[in-house]
Amino acid sequence: MSREYETVIGLEVHVELATKTKIFCGCSTAFGGAPNTHTCPVCTGMPGSLPVLNKKVVEYAAAVGLATNCTINQNCKFDRKNYFYPDNPQNYQISQLYEPICRNGYVEIETADGGTKKIGIHEIHMEEDAGKLVHDDWEDVSVVDFNRSGVPLIEIVSEPDMRSADEVIAYLEKLRLIIQYLGASDCKLNEGSMRADVNLSVREVGATEFGTRTEMKNLNSFRAISHAIEGEKNRQIDLIESGEKVIQETRRWDDTKESSHAMRSKEDAQDYRYFPEPDLVPILISDEWLEEIRSHQPEFRTQKLTRYEKEYEIPRYDAEIITNSKHMADLFEETVALCGKPKKVSNWLMVETMRLLKAHEMEPEDIRFSPEHLATLVNLADAGTINSTVAKEVFEQMFAEDIDPEKYVEEHGLNTVNDEGALRSTIEQVIKDNPQSVGDYHNGKEKAIGFLVGQTMKAMKGKANPGMVNQILKELL
């Protein structure tokens, strides 16, 4: 009789905060840049340099804590975590072990059966990022780029409450949306501003004790996380089924090979020798300061969904797609404020915008056109100044280069032809040139008129008013 197993999963999620400067110095946190150009004596660990805490880091960390139902530790402090690695310039990392800024929170996710589930958050702590090792296979050397060293991070440590890859992805998407809505990070997995380590064990269904867990690193997309969970679950079940033991270790996931390999055993993991950070004073978050952070919390997705249905009277499905990105939600609201046509704005975002994003493999955050230009386009199409075919052509230009639709229509002579005289003479010519379709129409084939409309639009270079074309065609036929 085959045994049934369940997976027990907890996550450590690292999020780079969206501050302009690093956590303990004034260097830029911008992504990219030539190696070792966003550096100074502090973030390269030079002797005698001293850290100075960036206040904004504390505010972002507390804001994420409030949004994830955590208790904010108003008396918290930093600790020194000692380890030796080439990308760690000081040979220690400033982090928080004993008194983290946030504790005992949760986020609620929707489960596959349509219900909800609370995923506990053990703690959130602040820390500095390390540099980046770049391996050069050609020269057979590894070099270090310290641009990322000292970039502020929060680490969100969950409870082992997740039981499947689906629950993990739902939890990560919920976290990402909360953090993006706060403006605390862009959470781009492909740029490393959100990274997840997966702690996973399996046990027989009904067992109360946890199995031996492994930790998986190097997961930079939801797809990789999902595949890694499935792969590791099956690997551990195979070991147990064949009478072998699961070893507690850190494993690295290889997305191209769709498999993981051991990096280091946890049995002989080094002792980090934590002690209170001597170069930084403890942090005192006053009631007033905490209240000020609380007062700046935005309207989150769940509240927006309810409001959109009520205030804008758009379908729930539309609201869910639009609010799934903070940038798109802002774009929608600002455009509606300018043109007052929520359903039409929603249609442009839902259909054409989503189509072009998919075609160009872009994220909603990459949308460049302005609310002003989208509102102008909606008004031009709604007034019949341009027809739907032209509107789509203009939108594609606007999507690519954020052009002014009004100017573009004017410069390219794309205004709809509403001149009845000009239309009538064109349609007369079309009828004359297509006796077969005219005959079909008179013999009861209603669809034949569609061909004649198409021929008229072609003759008018797509600029005719379709309603007027239909009307005159029927009259002449």
Band of the pLDDT at 137, cuts 50, 70, 90?
confident
Q: What is the pTM of this model?
A: 0.82
Mean pLDDT value of segment 409-438: 69
Nearest to 341 by CA among 316, 314, 309, 366: 314
pLDDT for 390: 85
What does the alpha-carbon distance between residue 413 and residue 474 come to, in Å, rounded to a whole number?
28
Residue 268, pLDDT above cutoff 60: no
Give the end-to-end CA distance of the chain in Å, rounded to a whole number. Answer: 77
What does the alpha-carbon distance between residue 437 and residue 453 come to, in Å, rounded to a whole number?
11
What does the alpha-carbon distance between residue 367 and residue 344 come to, in Å, rounded to a whole number?
18
pLDDT for 270: 62
Higher pLDDT: 39 or 188? It is 39
CA dihedral angle for residue 63, residue 68, residue 69, residue 75, rounded to 10 degrees: -40
Nearest to 198 by CA among 171, 173, 219, 176: 219
pLDDT for 257: 78
| Amino acid letter for position 346 | S
Choice among 127-136, 257-266, 388-397 with the minimum mean pLDDT: 257-266
What does the alpha-carbon distance between residue 376 and residue 374 come to, in Å, rounded to a whole number?
5
How many CA within 13 A on the CB side of residue 261?
4
pLDDT for 90: 92
Choice among 142-151, 259-268, 313-322, 426-435 with the minimum mean pLDDT: 259-268
pLDDT for 389: 83
Residue 416, pLDDT above cutoff 70: no
pLDDT tens string 156-181: 999 999 999 999 999 999 999 999 99
Band of the pLDDT at 462, cuts 50, 70, 90?
low
Band of the pLDDT at 265, cuts 50, 70, 90?
low
What does the alpha-carbon distance between residue 374 and residue 333 come to, in Å, rounded to a whole number?
12
pLDDT tens string 276-326: 999 999 999 999 999 999 999 999 999 999 999 999 999 999 999 999 999
Mean pLDDT of all residues belonging to the chain:
89
pLDDT for 386: 83
pLDDT for 3: 83
pLDDT tens string 11-66: 999 999 999 999 999 999 998 889 999 999 999 999 999 999 999 999 999 999 99
pLDDT for 152: 97
Name the phi and psi angles at 267, rounded to 5.
Answer: -65, -40
What does the alpha-carbon distance between residue 415 and residue 451 come to, in Å, rounded to a whole number?
23
CB of 470 closer than 8 Å to CB of 449: yes
CB of 275 closer than 8 Å to CB of 250: no
pLDDT for 459: 67
